[in-house]
Chain A
Amino acid sequence: MEWQLAWRLFNRELKQGQLVLIILALMLAVLSVTGLARVSERLQVAINGQASKFIAADRIINSPQPLDEAILAESEELGLSLSRSLQFNSMVYAGDAFQLVTVRAVDDNYPLKGTVELSAPQPNKTPLHHQLWYESRLAGLLNHPPSVELGNSQLAMSAEILRLPDGGFNLFASSPVVLMRLDDVPATGVVQPGSRVTYLYQFAGDSSALEAFEEYAKPKLTSSQRWVDIQSGNSPVASAVKRAERFLLLASLLGIALACAAIGIAAQRYCQRHYDVVAMLKTFGASAKQIRWLFGMHLLLVTCVGVVLGLFGGFLLDMAITPALPAEIAAYDAPIWRPVLLGIATGFISALMFSAFPLLKLLSVPPLRVLQRQLESSSISNWLHPLLSLLAMAVLGWLYSRSLTLTLTVVASVVLLGLLLALMGYLLVSAGRSVGMKTSSPVALALAGLRRRARQNSVQLVGFSSALVLLLTILALRQDLLNEWQQQLPENAPNYFLVNIAPEEVAPLEAFIQSHRIEMTDVYPVIRGRLSAINGEEVITPEQQRQGERGRIGISRELNLTWRETLPPNNKIMSGHFNERANEVSVEAGVAERLGIGLSDKLTFIIDNQKVDVEVASIRAVQWETLQPNFFMIFSKEALAPFMYTSMASFHLEPEQAGVILDLIKQFPTVSIIDVGAMIVQLRGIVAQVSLALTLVLVMVVLASSLVMIAQTEAGMASRQKELAVLRTFGASGSLLRWSTTLEFAILGAVSGVLAVTVSEFALWILKTRVFELQVSAHFLWWWLAPLSGAILVACLGLWRCAGLLRKSCGDLLKLEV
């Protein structure tokens, strides 16, 4: 019976538009979560898929000795595919010529992701027996021999490699790479016990199996074995992916918070509207159980409709977005269950938690209200509401982001906003005592109204300012992120790197590049060296420290050092001055922080077995994502002058100029050319995807904010209706009422604006320093723009509602249910 009644009540209210607000709020929450989760899921799958090609697998284990077979057995057990390979340095000979090469010996499964790009296509994807695939540079260095000797074997030079899928982003691979079969290695005899080799184990498979494998294998690795995934390392792709993911998470969190606010307001209104119905039902003898059932069912139906509409909206959104995606991203299809489940969970959790308090209040409305209309429930503590709301937000936030920092930032901002609002509310209430009607002027009437309705106004402030906070935060973050990405990836970002340029080749190379009217970055000399001591104290590697050695931590590998007389572009001195005297060095800020290096510290480097002492003259910030040649250590010229060096440079080439590269290879056979165009395309794809997501988020936030604002204005108007009616009846002019209402709302809007700026600056500060690693900047313009636009927006909403009421006659106004 209650079920029927609930259904009837729901059906009628739905048809009469009484449930529009709450269903819209729910729908928006579900839609934004589902839509954004779907976009970010797809983004993640696409990016991971693309980035996997860069390591030719999903995960890699690097090891100086063969890996425990049990680990490999486990990977097989989990259904992962495996490719084994071996990497070592060796000499190859062709007649009198010889050259040091980096040998990659691979099995038939290689590469698990991507392909080996060759200058002429081959029927097989890896070399055949007794074959060697080689980098073009090697052929130049050895005068194009038909075959080479490697240890005891003679290998045919059968194909020229343009790019290995896991060639990586190592610009400084000093020796050319060759590819051969793993089972050809024993015959060469070059790998003996004790030889320096790296065993590479590449894995690929579905994400759950990979996760399970990671959980199993990672703890079993020794300190000399390394676990590699696409997000390891400092690659520009990895950092762009991480940021994009975090932003989407945050955006969805804020979307949830806002939609929750809308649900909260709508639920409150929904329950208030039913106070009389509950009182009446109780009067006619409905038991508490019947009423609980009735409204529980009713709310469940409302939630279901909201959730279904939200899911449907999310689906439509996805359909609308997919054609707009870059083709290579749209091709990936992410599983749909997670966004759908998240959407459903969001709908039900937010409906339940945010309506719990108003619903409890509703259920405890005394039946006596039928005779004494002002009666409301008094038995429910008011602290329950904010507590439940915060809890709901935290649960949803964590469920969605699984990031404590993000969740806590959002909750902390909400708490700050709450405290500020409580303070404002208190000030308004205490100022509101002993205030009469004051109908002399619109301003006086507005001010008096503002103070008289202090309590309701502070509730309205919550709605207005939370909508503005989220709008401002998303707006600022979106702009900052896009700006930064655009700065890093300008249209003419370098897509080719030239390394291993011999000193005598620099001038001819520059002339060659110039003759093709290509703009090249500065040429940087590169010298390999190892940091051996800081202020005379010998440094140890992190690995040595793990093994129990004591001492100051250094860098475990050789560094690429350069010298320069001026500060390179995209570098910024943070302290000190750029090298002026001989034997000075400028240190990158991240390294300086990690190693505890400060200005005037003395660093000792070992270069070509010689000690070089330099003094730190400056600490320098570097934008690593710029794809320009970047260095940890820049020396003064005199310090590195005695050493042999090669040079590097980068330039941008339009696709139609690709022929230049062939000429370049012919004229400068010993120069290595590294094509990073693919990576740039990938980065651009990510930026395009994220820009789209950002715009989407902004649209959703604007929608949600408008909904919250309209809901709040509506709520505010209800309480003003009676007063308007009375003032109107006693002859107050339409313009006085219009102006005073508009002013009252404008002041509320302005105050909300100020609160919103305060809170969003706080939130942005935490987010930028803790989550996004962006530069913090104050938005001075906001301090007057936000209150102004808040005032105008809220005033317009108020005026619009007020005009509707003022068109009605006094009689109608008085008769309207408040």
Chain B
Amino acid sequence: MEVKSGESVAILGPSGSGKSTLLGLLAALDSPTEGEISLDGVSLVGLDEEQKAALRKQKISFIFQSFMLVDTLTALENVMLPAELSGIKDARAKATQMLQRVGLEHRLGHLPKQLSGGEQQRVAIARAFICEPKVLFADEPTGNLDKHNADRVADMLFAMNRESSTTLVLVTHDLTLAKRCRRQLEMQDGKLFEIATEQEAG
């Protein structure tokens, strides 16, 4: 499997087919027992935890189905987190700007539990883009949302992805969401099949 820079790829497949395992391997969260993975010219095989962490910090970002926001930090502080970890100086200003882009400038000081599911995921999107990652991995980003919110979040995700020319790898059950990606791959019993390559819809 090869993903080109700036490409958007959806990985489809039934539960238990190995989508999340693949995502974990691609995103340098896990190590393969065999085979070869390289990201932006760097081989992931043989990297220790620290080196993988450094790689993730520089190049990778994530969006999760369960949002994974720190429930004691405000929306703004959650967005600032990766920027602060990377040592970016004007993290606060940048985070404010990111939240404006996802339409949450009026929710900066709110805690996750004071936000709706859709809003929480928009915070997660802002967080994902703050460090201008090369690759964004999204694990069922709309899985916990209703139709209306799911559409809104998806629109936002693809718009921001386009603007920042980030490579997007998206794991989903949702065929409609998958279809908005340039390529769709399907995972079945641990094997990957290319189903379609289309013009990006969103």
Contact = CB atoms under 8 A, between A and B. Distances in A.
Interface of A: 1, 4-5, 8-9, 12-13, 16, 18, 276-277, 280-288, 290, 366-368, 370-373, 817
A280 B123 CA distance: 14
A372 B49 CA distance: 18
B54 A288 contact: no
A284 B24 contact: no
A26 B53 CA distance: 34
Given A18-B72, A288-B49, A371-B23, A1 B84 contact: yes
B86 A5 contact: no
B68 interface: yes
B58 A285 contact: yes
B70 to A, nearest CB: 5
B77 A12 contact: yes
A285 B29 contact: no
A372 B20 CA distance: 8
23 contacts: A1-B85, A4-B84, A9-B73, A12-B77, A280-B68, A281-B85, A284-B57, A284-B81, A285-B53, A285-B54, A285-B57, A285-B58, A285-B60, A286-B57, A288-B53, A366-B29, A367-B56, A368-B29, A370-B68, A371-B24, A372-B24, A373-B66, A817-B71
A371 B140 CA distance: 10
- Among A5, A286, A368, A370, the one with the most B-chain Cβ atoms within 10 Å of its Cβ is A370
A368 B57 contact: no
B120 interface: no
Contacts of A370: 29, 62, 64, 68, 139
Contacts of B73: 8-9, 12
Nearest to B85: A286
B29 A284 contact: no
B55 interface: yes
B29 A283 contact: yes
Interface of B: 20, 23-24, 27, 29-30, 49-50, 53-58, 60-62, 64, 66, 68, 70-74, 77, 81-82, 84-87, 111, 139
A282 B56 CA distance: 9
In the complex, the 7 A-B pairs of residues with the closest C-beta atoms, listed nearest first: A285-B57, A285-B56, A284-B82, A12-B72, A368-B29, A371-B20, A367-B29
Given A285-B57, A286-B53, A280 B85 contact: no
Contacts of B27: 283
A1 B81 CA distance: 10
Contacts of A12: 72-74, 77
A275 to B, nearest CB: 11
Nearest to A288: B50
Nearest to B87: A1
A287 B54 contact: yes
B62 A284 contact: yes
B57 A276 contact: no
A371 B25 CA distance: 11
- B56, B73, B85: most-surrounded residue (chain A CB, <10 A): B85
A283 B62 contact: yes
Given A283-B29, A368-B29, A9 B72 contact: yes
A817 B111 CA distance: 15
Given A18-B72, A368-B29, A370-B64, 6 more contacts: A1-B84, A284-B61, A285-B86, A287-B54, A372-B20, A373-B66
A434 to B, nearest CB: 26
Contacts of A287: 50, 53-54, 57
A284 B70 contact: no
Contacts of A16: 72, 111
Contacts of B61: 284
Contacts of B24: 368, 371-372
A370 B57 CA distance: 16
Residue in B54, B74, B84 whose Cβ sees the most chain A Cβ within 10 Å: B84
Nearest to A18: B72
Which of A9, A285, A372, A817 has the most C-beta atoms of chain B within 10 angstroms of its own C-beta? A285
Contacts of B77: 8, 12
Given A1-B84, A12-B73, A371-B23, A282 B53 contact: yes
A537 to B, nearest CB: 80
A5 B53 contact: no
B53 A280 contact: no
Contacts of A8: 73, 77
Contacts of B74: 12
Given A8-B77, A283-B56, A290 B29 contact: no
Contacts of A284: 56-57, 61-62, 81-82, 85
A276 B56 CA distance: 17
A331 B139 CA distance: 71
Given A284-B81, A370-B62, A276 B68 contact: yes
A319 B84 CA distance: 46
Given A8-B77, A284-B61, A285-B86, A371 B29 contact: yes
A5 B84 contact: yes
Nearest to B60: A285
Contacts of A817: 71
A557 B58 CA distance: 89
Name the residue among B23, B24, B50 with the largest chain A CB count within 10 angstroms. Answer: B24
A637 B58 CA distance: 102
A362 to B, nearest CB: 14
Contacts of A13: 72
B133 to A, nearest CB: 10
A285 B85 contact: yes
Nearest to A371: B20
A8 B92 CA distance: 13
A488 B79 CA distance: 71
B182 to A, nearest CB: 24
A285 B86 CA distance: 8
A283 B69 CA distance: 12
A283 B139 CA distance: 13
A574 B22 CA distance: 82
Contacts of B50: 287-288
A280 B29 contact: no
Contacts of B62: 283-284, 370
Contacts of B85: 1, 5, 281, 284-286, 290
Given A18-B72, A280-B70, A370-B68, A285 B55 contact: yes
A25 B59 CA distance: 42
A288 B66 CA distance: 24
B5 to A, nearest CB: 20
A228 B61 CA distance: 77
B98 to A, nearest CB: 14
A667 B35 CA distance: 114
Contacts of B84: 1, 4-5
A277 B23 CA distance: 20
B53 A368 contact: no
Nearest to B71: A817
A21 to B, nearest CB: 15
B110 to A, nearest CB: 12
Contact of B139 (A280, A367, A371): A371
A281 B87 contact: no
Contacts of A280: 68, 70
A257 B17 CA distance: 50
Nearest to B56: A285
Q: Which of A18, A286, A817 has the most CB of B within 10 A?
A: A286
Nearest to B49: A288
Contacts of B86: 285
Nearest to A283: B62
A171 B72 CA distance: 73
Contacts of A5: 81, 84-85
A277 to B, nearest CB: 5
Nearest to A5: B84
A566 B86 CA distance: 91
A366 B29 CA distance: 8
Nearest to A817: B71
A290 B56 CA distance: 14
Contacts of B57: 284-287
A281 B81 contact: yes
B124 to A, nearest CB: 10
